[in-house]
Structure 1
Amino acid sequence: MDDTLTSTLELAADWADRFAELTTDERRQLALWLEESPENAAAFARMRRLMSDTALIDAFDKGDAPVQPLAPLPELRAGSSRPARADRRKPMLGRRQAIAAGLAGALALPFAGYWLAGGQTAGSPPPLRFASRVGERRRFTLPDGSGLLLDAASRVAVDFSEGRRHVLLEQGAARFDVRHDPARPFKVRTPHAGMVALGTSFSVDHLAEASELRVFSGRVRLDVADQETRVVPADRWALVHGATVSTGSFDPTTHPDWQSDWLDADAMPLGFAVQRLARYSAAPVRIADPKLASLTFSGRFRLDNPRQSLELIGALFGLRLEKRKDALYLA
């Protein structure tokens, strides 16, 4: 990687790190720098995406990723978009500045031969990953401007290369508020089904043996292996469980499910409920007898108090919540 590109990435990393705290004057300076060249704008956009990857941040927190010190970002002279040298920056970098610096350095090898302006590579770039921790919901803006809301303990991988917008829901649940772009269909996939947004807001829940789609506005095309494609309209849900696809209606204003701290169960299998509540429990949750997982129940239960909800649900079946060495068990 040449020195010019390295410098561009380092500046982009520092701007991205400080973006939320920029003053009005600093934002003007950033705008001037972005207008100087397509390379600047592309580097800044990629740094913003990379720095929202929680897996990378966790790696730096644990010391798993090398961090190289970043040279102080020079301030700009009045009336100029070129940086001028300044000595007022603190010599020690904070955690996120170290991450920004490390990302710039880490890009040196993968981006050899990569032209930032054109976005062309010899091979496909790795996907961006967004994640949330147990008991934590997180909101992100995807590279195309679409909104992403992750349920607790959830993770997605995003591939937004030229001509495509593909999201793999690797774990948990997510809501997508999709920015319309007919040239690049917005696709979400789980191991059980594929969904294509037709201008919409919808959520997808990835369970161990099933996937649930809920459409809040617009329509979503649902593709399931060995079945005819179907279109799910607003205020409808579809559950893909094995070779079976069940559908029904819901009121998104009163039952938005996990987005409002509630588990809304309507003939829900006990196994599905345990998986969803486990996303909010510090201790793993198990069903002592796996045969009980198919039992169904209905009701509303708090997600932010998983232990109490598990006790209430267990009582419906004469089960108790027991704390054992490795997990909480319904037995």
Structure 2
Amino acid sequence: MTEINKNHDAGNDAIKQAIWDDPALLEALTDHHSHTASRNTSRWAWLGGMAACFCAGVIGWYVIQEQSFPDELPVKVAYASPQTFSSVDAQDVKLSDGSEVAMNRGASLHFSESARNRQAKLTKGEAYFEVARDEARPFNIETGNANIQVLGTAFNVDKSLSQTQIDVFHGKVAVSMPDGSDRVELVKGQRASVTARGITVSAFTATEPDWQAGWIDLNNVSLNDALYQLNRYSNKPVVLQHVDDHAAHISGRFKAADIAGSARLLAQMNGLAMHEYEDSIVLAKPENGK
């Protein structure tokens, strides 16, 4: 019985060895191992690729966020450099905010702008403003003896020696003394005359600035102020000689194209004599003293 079992076991071992030694089985097992390893390698490669894409996506999103919202700092708007204009002859200029200005002869203007306001200084002469509307940034004008504030409108500013005159042709304009006192609001057809004594408001009917129509418009000004305005158009100086200027208050319209005639008319209105020389025009008391 024992011998039979031994023989049986030996036979089984031989069969097993034959099976394991079978070339087809070995080839199948080899192919299976190779395919398994290949699948594992492909799986890891795929997972690695997905991880790389994820990292790239995260980095890209971060860069975009940094570029789009860098620490959420406020956006800085660049404004044009300050502008300065001086007119020998009448000229039209355009300010950096889009406003348009017609400058009379002999006018000087400085303009700058910021995120909060627009600031102009008329240091000399006369100019007609058509202000570009910008409710977030008021347009301010300083003349030395008057402050003017608008949002968007059309008006004329005339700065002479001792007063500033503002004529409103469209919209609304606020006028005050340099310290902000005596503030008044003007609408179309209203005029403000600003002197050291305060602000006087009156009405006018012109549809355009008088100077653009060839006229010099004087509104209760001194004789010196009147000659100051005549000198804008004169090729030679018009001057007073030994005359007390304080008593004169002149109103009227005078032709800008005829300075000698306008000076003669001023002399007659004030009991003066006019002397025209090659290099000047002089208004003086008559030689007989009368």
Kindly tell me the number of residue pairs found equivalent between the two proteins: 208
Aligned counterpart, 2:78: 119
Aligned counterpart, 2:218: 265
Give the distance between the partners of 1:315 and 1:277, measured in 2 at CA.
16
Give the distance between the partners of 1:289 and 1:307, measured in 2 at CA.
20
* 1:20-35 equivalent positions in 2, closer than 5 A: none
Read off the aligned partner of 1:262 and give its amino acid letter.
W
Aligned counterpart, 1:131: 86
TM-score w.r.t. length of structure 2: 0.66
Task: Give the 3-state SS of the residue equivalent to 2:235 in structure 1.
Answer: coil
Q: Could you say if the C-alpha distance between residues 246 and 152 of structure 1 is closer, same or farther in structure 2, counting changes exceeding 3 Å?
A: same
Task: Give the 3-state SS of the residue equivalent to 1:291 in structure 2.
Answer: coil
* 1:1-331 equivalent positions in 2, closer than 5 A: 118-119=77-78, 127-133=82-88, 136-224=89-177, 225=179, 227-253=181-207, 256-292=209-245, 294-323=247-276, 327-331=280-284
- Report the Cα offset of residue 157 of structure 1: 0.5
- Report the Cα offset of residue 137 of structure 1: 0.9
TM-score w.r.t. length of structure 1: 0.58
What is the alpha-carbon root mean square deviation over aligned residues? 2.2
1:271–1:294 CA contact under 8 A, matched in 2: no
Aligned counterpart, 2:6: none
Task: Give the 3-state SS of the residue equivalent to 2:245 in structure 1.
Answer: helix
Read off the aligned partner of 1:235 and give its amino acid letter.
G
Q: Could you say if the C-alpha distance between residues 179 and 126 of structure 1 is closer, same or farther in structure 2, counting changes exceeding 3 Å?
A: closer
Give the distance between the partners of 2:90 and 2:153, measured in 1 at CA.
21
- Report the Cα offset of residue 306 of structure 1: 1.3
1:287–1:293 CA contact under 8 A, matched in 2: no
Task: Give the 3-state SS of the residue equivalent to 1:272 in structure 2.
Answer: helix
Q: Could you say if the C-alpha distance between residues 118 and 238 of structure 1 is closer, same or farther in structure 2, counting changes exceeding 3 Å?
A: closer
Q: Could you say if the C-alpha distance between residues 321 and 208 of structure 1 is closer, same or farther in structure 2, counting changes exceeding 3 Å?
A: same
Read off the aligned partner of 2:211 and give its amino acid letter.
W
Q: Could you say if the C-alpha distance between residues 149 and 234 of structure 1 is closer, same or farther in structure 2, counting changes exceeding 3 Å?
A: same
Aligned counterpart, 2:63: none
Give the distance between the partners of 1:130 and 1:194, measured in 2 at CA.
20
1:262–1:302 CA contact under 8 A, matched in 2: yes
Percentage of pairs with the same residue: 29
1:198–1:221 CA contact under 8 A, matched in 2: no
Give the distance between the partners of 1:314 and 1:296, measured in 2 at CA.
13
Structure 2 runs not aligned, ≥5 long: 1-75, 285-290
Read off the aligned partner of 2:204 and give its amino acid letter.
F
- Report the Cα offset of residue 251 of structure 1: 0.6
Whose radius of gyration is greater, 1 or 2?
A: 2
Structure 1 residues 125-147: Cα deviation after superposition (integer angstroms, max 9, x where no partner)? 863111211xx211111111111
1:154–1:172 CA contact under 8 A, matched in 2: yes
2:182–2:199 CA contact under 8 A, matched in 1: no
- Report the Cα offset of residue 199 of structure 1: 2.5
Give the distance between the partners of 1:226 and 1:166, measured in 2 at CA.
16
Higher normalized contact order (CA 8 Å, seq sep 6+, divided by chain length): 1
Structure 1 residues 129-188: Cα deviation after superposition (integer angstroms, max 9, x where no partner)? 11211xx21111111111101011111011123332100001101110011001111110
- Report the Cα offset of residue 325 of structure 1: 8.0
Q: Could you say if the C-alpha distance between residues 266 and 204 of structure 1 is closer, same or farther in structure 2, counting changes exceeding 3 Å?
A: closer
Give the distance between the partners of 2:82 and 2:281, measured in 1 at CA.
35
Structure 1 runs not aligned, ≥5 long: 1-116
Task: Give the 3-state SS of the residue equivalent to 1:312 in structure 2.
Answer: helix
